[in-house]
């Protein structure tokens, strides 16, 4: 999904239609910088997490379904052809893959996924990488969780130094931190090892991540995605750490993806799915409702919305989502029973979108 940095030149977007895309997915530079955290978490959490608002589905306004979508339809693309995505050079053949472990029952609390959140990609583009500023802004906007990129198949687990600063400060402010990473699945066992390192990370004071989300992409992002490789990777992560909160960031279940993307193979190994509902020139409510209708039978859901501009990308809408779209998406997610909703990404969201997110009343609570 969500993005890489640039050990090499940044790639502007995925090769599939951007309206249903993951936002940039290149490997992050190593130099950049299921599941229940123990209650004390190293003594870091000093502010209790907010309780769930008393609103019910009947008190959440019905979201608008006829919004004017500025920048739609997108103009014909006249830029250069997309750069081929990075991928590992060595592919472990199917014949050499180990057996997939059995899927254990879901035992992790999904409370960290409730309420509102934001996704962090490049640390230095997120309030300059200053943990105090990030936490203060998140708290002021009423967020409950931060999703922070911590690893990928190229660099392994590289987020320790940033997490050392961010996670204790976030926990003191009542915020949860979900690490996320990009497995290319050329070596599912190797991907499981760096994912396990992220889940095993501890700050000097004993703080830890509140969960991990695996960004499960497709060949358009350089990933060797098959049902077997995805299940094996997630199964090995589960086997090593059965108690931590494990999430799969997945493609939106559009008609195009529904028959080919391995949602059913992924579901037994994770505690929740986080579909990337980047609506582009489709009404946000339509995209959100489709994701919840198709995926809710498989796993609890946390929706990821669009807070970035697709301008300049192939099939890209030329204007960012308007505040009314942000509100409609949040209303649809909340009315539809999602645990929570977050947005890609902190470094791309504009001031109007940020203010709208902050004003929307969605408190966290039991998952």
Question: What DSSP designation does 286 have?
Answer: H
Task: Give residue 275's Cα distance to chain centre.
Answer: 8
- Determine the distance from the C-alpha atom of residue 221 to the mean position of all C-alpha atoms in its chain, rounded to a whole number: 16
Separation of alpha carbons 44 and 167, rounded Å: 9
Q: Which two tokens stand for residue 216?
A: 């499960």
Task: Look at the alpha carbons of 340, 209, 268, 192 in this order and tell me if their dihedral is positive or negative.
Answer: positive
Assigned domain for 248 exists: yes
Q: Is 314 left (phi over 0), alpha (psi -120 to 50) or beta?
A: beta
Torsion sign (Cα): 229, 249, 90, 240: negative
What was the pLDDT predicted at 37?
31
171 lies in some domain:
yes
Task: Assign residue 311 the CATH number of its domain.
Answer: 3.20.20.80
* Spatial separation of the C-alpha atoms in residues 343 and 146, rounded to whole Å: 10
Residue numbers of the domain that contains 199: 112-359
pLDDT of 144 over the 80 cut: yes
Q: Report the number of distinct structural domains present in the chain.
A: 1
Strands, DSSP E only, in the chain?
115-120, 145-152, 156-157, 176-182, 211-215, 246-250, 272-275, 302-306, 340-344
Does residue 12 fall inside a structural domain? no
In a domain, 144, yes or no: yes
| Residue 289 vs residues 119, 200, 221, 253, 264: alpha-carbon distances, Å | 22, 36, 26, 10, 19
**Residue the block writes with tokens 């967020």:** 143
How do residues 83-141 score in pLDDT, each as one tens digit?
999 999 999 999 999 999 999 999 999 999 999 999 999 999 999 999 999 999 999 99
pLDDT tens-digit readout, 30-71: 333 333 333 333 344 444 333 333 344 558 999 999 999 999
Tell me if 258 sits within 8 A of 294, measured CB to CB: yes
List, for residues 199-242, the tens digit of each pLDDT value: 999 999 999 999 999 999 999 999 999 999 999 999 999 999 99
The pLDDT value recorded for residue 50 is: 37
pLDDT of 154 reads 97
Which stretches of 283-351 are assigned E, i.e. beta strand?
Answer: 302-306, 340-344
Residue 6: inside a domain: no
Residue 53 pLDDT: 38
Measure the CA–CA gap between 262 and 188, rounded to whole angstroms.
15
Rounded to the nearest integer, the mean pLDDT of the chain is 87
Tell me what percent of the residues of the chain surpass a pLDDT of 70: 84
pLDDT level of residue 258 (50, 70, 90 thresholds): very high
Strand pairing report for 156-157 and 145-152: antiparallel
Query: Both tokens of residue 202?
Result: 């501890």
What confidence tens digit (pLDDT) does each residue in 13-38 have? 222 233 333 444 444 443 333 333 33
CA distance 29 to 6: 6
Cβ-contact 184, 28 below 8 angstroms:
no
Least confident range of 16-20, 145-149, 165-169, 229-233: 16-20
Neighbours of 331 (CB within 10 A): 21
**Count of C-beta atoms within a 10 Å radius of residue 293:** 11
Q: Check residue 1 and give its pLDDT.
A: 57
pLDDT tens per residue across span 330-360: 999 999 999 999 999 999 999 999 999 999 9
Q: Is 107 left (phi over 0), alpha (psi -120 to 50) or beta?
A: alpha
Handedness of CA 181, 185, 187, 193 (dihedral sign): positive
pLDDT digits (tens, 9 = 90+) for 292-324: 999 999 999 999 999 999 988 877 899 999 999
Assign 161 a pLDDT band (cuts: 50, 70, 90): very high
What does the alpha-carbon distance between residue 341 and residue 284 come to, in Å, rounded to a whole number? Answer: 13
Spatial distance between the Cα atoms of 180 and 167, rounded to a whole number of angstroms:
14
The residue among 226, 270, 221, 220 whose CA lies nearest residue 248 is: 270
């Amino acid at each position: 999904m969500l993005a890489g940095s640039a050990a090499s030149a940044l790639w502007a977007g995925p090769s599939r239609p951007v309206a249903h895309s993951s936002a940039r997915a290149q490997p992050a530079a190593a130099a950049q910088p299921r599941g229940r955290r123990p209650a004390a978490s190293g003594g870091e959490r000093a502010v209790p997490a907010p309780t769930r608002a008393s609103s019910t589905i009947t008190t959440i306004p019905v979201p608008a379904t006829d919004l004017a979508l500025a920048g739609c339809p997108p103009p014909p693309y006249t830029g250069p052809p997309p750069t081929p995505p990075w991928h590992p050079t060595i592919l472990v053949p199917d014949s050499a893959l180990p057996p997939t472990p059995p899927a254990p029952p879901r035992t992790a609390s999904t409370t960290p996924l409730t309420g509102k959140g934001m996704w962090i990609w490049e640390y230095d583009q997120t309030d300059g990488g200053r943990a105090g500023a990030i936490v203060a802004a998140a708290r002021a906007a009423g967020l409950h969780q931060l999703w922070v990129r911590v690893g990928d198949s190229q660099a392994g687990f590289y987020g320790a130094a940033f997490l050392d600063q961010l996670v204790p400060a976030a926990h003191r402010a009542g915020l949860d931190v979900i690490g996320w990473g990009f497995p290319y699945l050329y070596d599912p066992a190797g991907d499981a090892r760096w994912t396990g390192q992220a889940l095993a990370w501890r700050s000097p004071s004993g703080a830890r991540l509140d969960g991990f989300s695996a960004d499960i992409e497709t060949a358009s992002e350089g990933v060797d995605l098959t049902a077997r490789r995805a299940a094996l990777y997630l199964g090995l992560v589960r086997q090593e750490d059965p108690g931590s909160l494990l999430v799969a960031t997945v493609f939106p279940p559009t008609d195009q993806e529904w028959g080919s993307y391995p949602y059913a193979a992924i579901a037994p190994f994770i505690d929740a799915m986080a579909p990337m509902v980047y609506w582009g020139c489709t009404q946000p409510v339509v995209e959100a409702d489709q994701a919840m209708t198709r995926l809710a039978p498989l796993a609890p859901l946390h929706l990821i919305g669009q807070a970035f501009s697709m301008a300049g990308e192939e099939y890209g809408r030329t204007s960012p989502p308007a505040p009314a779209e942000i509100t409609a998406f949040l209303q649809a997610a909340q009315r539809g029973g999602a645990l929570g909703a977050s947005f890609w990404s902190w470094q791309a969201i504009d001031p109007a979108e940020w203010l709208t997110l902050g004003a929307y009343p969605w408190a966290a609570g039991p998952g």
